[in-house]
Amino acid sequence: MKKRTSDKRGTAGFSLLEVSIAITLLGTVLGSVALFQHRSQEAVSEMLVRARAEGEARAVLDQVVQELTGVGRQQLTPNPSGNAGAETITYQKPIAVSNAGVVTWSPNSRLALAMDDGEADNGVDDDGDGFIDERRLVLTRNVGTAAQQFVTLLHGLPELVPGEAATIGDDNGNGVSDERGFNVQLVGDLLTVRLCVQRRSQAGNIVTVFAQTAVVVNN
């Protein structure tokens, strides 16, 4: 009589080798999922940081446009029409015009870069935010008078915008040489205002935002 044989593999379950392969595969899959989640979180973090920085830059640009609207070309100091434009600009706005057409100008206001809080111009990241020698944009009203007032409009503007080297010349090909995070440049009657801000994402990646606009100046 033929002896009945049983399928030992079927009843004994998985072999050690199979279990070991399964655990390895599961580990790989879980690792991939964790990596994917981490990357997704970082991508979302970067998106949020970028959106916030763009909002900040846009709002400051609007404020700068408001400041510079109506300014006279002759009242711009220094003359920002060179290749390097200007990173500090002093200006006056018309506040009255007499019947004879004589314009009364406001006291001087100034937009200028200053070292950011806790930062010194020394090639070192003094405030530990991951950026070296970053600037802030400062608006000064009533320059040189008893009523002089300072307002910081924006923090975290780079010493030189990415793509621009500290050698003379327009390395990033945007028409301005050696520009910092704030620059104004006059071409004809058009005053172009450029902003660049930098932030760090949660994982420490650099997020750079550029924004620019232009204002027509009076003669």
Residues at the interface with Ca ion (CB under 5 A): 119-120, 122, 124-127, 129, 131, 133, 164, 170, 172, 174, 176
Residue 40 Cβ, how far from Ca ion at the closest point, in Å? Answer: 29
- Both ends of the chain: CA-CA distance in Å? 117
The minimum distance between CB 134 and Ca ion, in angstroms, equals 5
Cβ distance to Ca ion smaller for residue 50 or 155: 155
Residue in this structure with the two tokens 């530990």, named with its chain if needed: 128
Smallest distance, Ca ion to C-beta of residue 107, A: 32
Contact 174, 164 (CB under 8 A): no
Residue nearer to Ca ion on the CB measure, 87 or 133: 133
CB of 201 to Ca ion, least distance (A): 16
Least Å distance, CB 71 to Ca ion, is 24
User: What is the spatial distance between Cα 105 and Cα 107, in angstroms, rounded to a whole number?
Assistant: 7
DSSP state of 124: S
Task: State which residue, 73 or 155, has the beta carbon closest to Ca ion.
Answer: 155
Amino acid at 140: T
> Which lies closer to Ca ion via its Cβ, residue 52 or residue 155?
155
Q: Which string of b and e fits 166-203 if b means at least 16 CB within 10 Å?
A: eeeeebbebebbbbbbbbbbbeeeebbbbbbbbbbbee
Judged by beta carbon, residue 42 or residue 127, the one nearer Ca ion is: 127
Q: Cα-Cα-Cα-Cα dihedral of 139, 142, 148, 150, to 10°?
A: -10
